[in-house]
Structure 1
Amino acid sequence: MERRELLKRAGVGGAVGVTGIVAYDRLRDDGEPAGAGESAPNDSDPPAEDDEEPPPRYADEFGTVADVVRAGADPSGSEPIGDVLTDLAGDDTLLSFPAGTYRFPRVELSGFDHLGIAAAGDERPTFRAPAGSCGDMGRHARFLDVTDFLLDGIDFEFGAEGAGGSVAVIAAGDAVVRDVTVEGSCRNQTSMFRMEIRNPDGTGVAENVRVRDDQDSTWMTGAYVGEEHSGEITFRGCEFSEFTDNGLYGSAPGVEGGGDGAVHTVDGRFENNNISNIRLGSTGSTARGDSVVVESAPDAERVNLRGIRFRRGSEQTVEDCEVRFGSAVRESFGAIVYHADNRGARVIDSHVTVDSDGVPAVRAFYATDEAGGAPVLEGLTIDGEARRGFAVDVEGRNGTSIRNCAIEQSGGNRDGIRLAYSEDCELVDSRVDVTGYPLILRDASVAIRNTTFVTPDGERHVDRMDAGPGDFRPEAWAS
């Protein structure tokens, strides 16, 4: 199979006709391939179309397809299926699951090339963990060093007493996880879902993955990308909500010595995740078309609610995203935050609404790297009724660029942009309309071009000005 062929074709659901199957080694109850020992049909016999079963999904993508029920798996949930899984798993093999509930013990499958585990049809099978199955490491399903791996259409149910663990795909090559849910957890686990591609040329897709922690764990991550991720992963249409330690924790590959693989999220939904809803930190990682809503904090040991957080790395991009912070939020560094160790990222064509008093829409902390890292805000709309504080607060970031932005904050004593200890910045083709000071410079310089400042006392348009530390102090706005 050509590289990435599984990735290209896994996005197309639906059954294929029997004639499209290259090899369909479906197993009978006795373990032999269906048709073994049976005489060939007579050409004169009429076709028994009503007796034909449609092949399972993805059947034409694998050399061997095993119907796990015919191979002995119990779809009633009474008998564990661990031995069936380990016996049937192999290279170029699809394990096809008819609808049903399967008793799912802790399982690790490793080292397989082109292995698939998928629902046979449109009805989703449930993998139910037995009570008392939590392990020391909080793992439950682990697919390790697999290549061209497929996991599709499975509901993992970990709601029994003492049941659960993470679902982890740690791939040595391409991998697809699609239409998968995980519900419930162990007290000692740290993440619900983990995915990483350890081959720099490998690609991973997590599509329509939804996870929920029913144990109210005080320190839990929705989806975690490990340090050794060196390929590329896209989370598409995924949902992560109410997690106490990040919704999507994608920054670990950016640590010193990490794989620095790119992490992308597209059209995701993130709600009320503590620490950050989306956390990016490897080179070239992106968030596009995502929706982030923060109205309240989960029950966590420490609370610092952030919508999107740039942690480590550089060259990350947020584009066409919506971030909304409700009025009840108080404990937050900001809706979009540049951590001190981030070396520069872009936020473009996005919309941030902040109704949280004192919480900035964008905050960039003083860069710890001597090379710094300039935030780029372009086509950004900031609105909302937040009072006090700054809409945009930047410290120690030379070269900060704010272009074609619209900032309108209607809450009392709300200031617009604060640039501190930052040289050679630019503010171009923008409008700042606030109840406080539209622009404050502290030991900073900024080239202002075609920008309008609005305060309750009036409007001031600046066509061209190179402003320095002595300009735009608070008293400069006094009427």
Structure 2
Amino acid sequence: MGLTSTASASSEPYGHYYDEYSTVVDVTDVGADATGNEPITPVLEELRDDDTLLVFPEGRYYMDEQFRFTGFENFGVVGENATLVPANYYDFAGPQYRLFRLGVSYSPGDRIRFEGFDVDQTAPDTGIRTIEAYAAERLEVRDVTIHGQHDSGTWGPGMFNVTDPDGTGLVDQFRAPDGGAWINDTPTAGDRWRGPIGIVANQNEGTLEFRHCWLGAFPDNGLYAANGNGKIIVHGGLYRNSNGANVRVGGNGSEIRWPTVEVDSTRPEDRSQRGIRIENGRNITIHGAAVTITEPEPTSHAISVMNTCESARIENTRLELQGEDVNHGIVLSPDCGEATIADTTIAHETAGGYPFWIQDSDRTDRILAEHVTITGAAGDAGGFRDGIRCERNNCRFNYVDIEQPGRSGVNRNAIVNTANELTVYESNLRASQHPYIDIGANALVRDSALESSSGREAVCLYASSTGPAFKKNRLAQGIRDLGATDVTTWANTYE
């Protein structure tokens, strides 16, 4: 069987794994062709066994059919500078979906290892899922790089799920930088919607981490890990130009930490290239994200908190939006739960849009923005011309710094409030029109500085405004009152 003894393991790149398996096999010792000329799946089928590690020495390994193994306790596949070469769509036998299928949802493997492969799909029509893995106890996938666009229209490069709530998984440095083609540009035109997803993990029940992954432009989401009950962790990585969302995450307690998300290219079919989308869970955290959108579609929000997100925290995050379309920064959907946005900066230089939009809602869960800075000269295309648009009751803004100078003489406002019970505390609001407009009820602005660069009043109160209070503020040029009721002012200055 070409056994590699553990005595010689120290000289092998993956030798430190050998003592985890009763059988370690060099696949070339038992007939696997390393020149890329003969298919290797028949050899792998003969080697398939539990508690086994298959080792691929340096070389090229041609695959024209799927390798499937399920229901095992411990199985691994590792490459030592090895390259997998998939057949094109027309020559691929059987299910034209995957190279490796390790475990299935109803019969997962307990422990799965897969690492150390390049995948050469630079030839036309060669996109195929490299690995689909379901592990109950432990999943480890490392150092997999896919070269070439996924252009066959089949399922995207990776699917990963941990099936047991106590299980753990790590997908480290899984890279598909060339993305995938839209379905109508592939041999399967018309058979599916949009095209492939970069990485999908929508049945995860355990804790599954994606570390330092890299995904290019995919037609149907980049990383899509939103529909399982388990915890998803995204740590670092680069996610670029996918349609739908570049990082789409759900699950209770999930974390998105330090990713870089870039949208700088849009294909004709792209309709929405959101940066980060969170949903289907509670206590979801975005920490240290850097989202840059320089070629936005009109609906490609930098961060979307969806209706099914019960609670969220966005902190230490930096958003940069530029371009000649309307685009929004952080958007809280109407039915999302409580949310905190802290220590975050938004540079907004688009033709129009809201850097921070709290959408109209009947929910009263607290929305807190604290130490948030909003800058940039944006336009008013589409009528979107406010730094913060607050349409939901029970919001509080502490220590926010907003500057909305407007692009080419456009009138921009710092905060427009249409809801009830808003509090603005110790904040600096500057705008080319009015720093603060109130259309709601029982708002309180205190210990803040408000100034219009055009000499307008710091505050504009519409007739529908009821019970607004302004205490200990600096309100340059005072208050423009268009018929508000029960206005309270105390200890303000108006220079």
TM-score (structure 2 length as normaliser): 0.77
Report whether the alignment pairs 1:289 with 2:254.
Answer: no
1:248-263 matches, within 5 Å, as 248-253=223-228, 260-263=229-232
1:51-450 matches, within 5 Å, as 54-57=11-14, 58-104=17-63, 105-120=65-80, 124-131=81-88, 132-133=91-92, 136=95, 138-144=97-103, 145-160=108-123, 162-166=125-129, 167-183=131-147, 184-185=149-150, 187-211=152-176, 212-213=178-179, 215-217=181-183, 218-227=194-203, 229-253=204-228, 260-300=229-269, 303-326=271-294, 328-356=295-323, 357-367=325-335, 372-395=336-359, 396=361, 398=364, 399-413=366-380, 414-420=385-391, 422-435=392-405, 436-450=412-426
Change (3 A) 1:56 1:458: closer
Q: Which AA in structure 2 matches 1:269?
A: L
Aligned to 2:55, the other structure's residue is in SS state: strand
Q: CA deviation at 1:448?
A: 1.6
Partners of 1:284 and 1:315 within 8 A in 2: yes
Counterpart Cα distance in 2 of 1:187 and 1:94:
30
Q: Which AA in structure 2 matches 1:306?
A: R
Q: CA deviation at 1:67?
A: 1.0
Counterpart Cα distance in 1 of 2:290 and 2:243:
17
Q: Which AA in structure 2 matches 1:246?
A: N
Q: Which AA in structure 2 matches 1:429?
A: Y
Q: Which AA in structure 1 matches 2:82?
A: P
Change (3 A) 1:295 1:188: closer
Counterpart Cα distance in 2 of 1:34 and 1:62:
11
Q: Which AA in structure 2 matches 1:381?
A: T
Aligned to 2:31, the other structure's residue is in SS state: coil
Partners of 2:271 and 2:297 within 8 A in 1: no
Per-residue CA deviations over 1:282-341 (Å, capped at 9, x if unaligned) read 1111110100011122353x5112100112222111001100111x32332411112223
Q: CA deviation at 1:214?
A: 5.4
CA RMSD of aligned residues (A): 2.8
Q: Which moved more, 1:411-420 or 1:194-203?
A: 411-420
Q: Which moved more, 1:269-278 or 1:186-195?
A: 186-195
Aligned to 1:189, the other structure's residue is in SS state: coil
Partners of 2:259 and 2:289 within 8 A in 1: yes
Counterpart Cα distance in 2 of 1:381 and 1:152:
38
- Tell me which protein shows more strand as a share of its residues: 2
Per-residue CA deviations over 1:190-225 (Å, capped at 9, x if unaligned) read 422100000111111000001244544442210000
Q: Which AA in structure 2 matches 1:220?
A: P
Report whether the alignment pairs 1:455 with 2:405.
Answer: no
1:464-475 matches, within 5 Å, as 469-470=465-466, 471=468
Give aligned pairs, total. 414
Contiguous gaps of at least 5 residues in structure 2: 184-193, 406-411, 437-444, 450-460, 470-478, 483-493
Partners of 1:133 and 1:162 within 8 A in 2: no
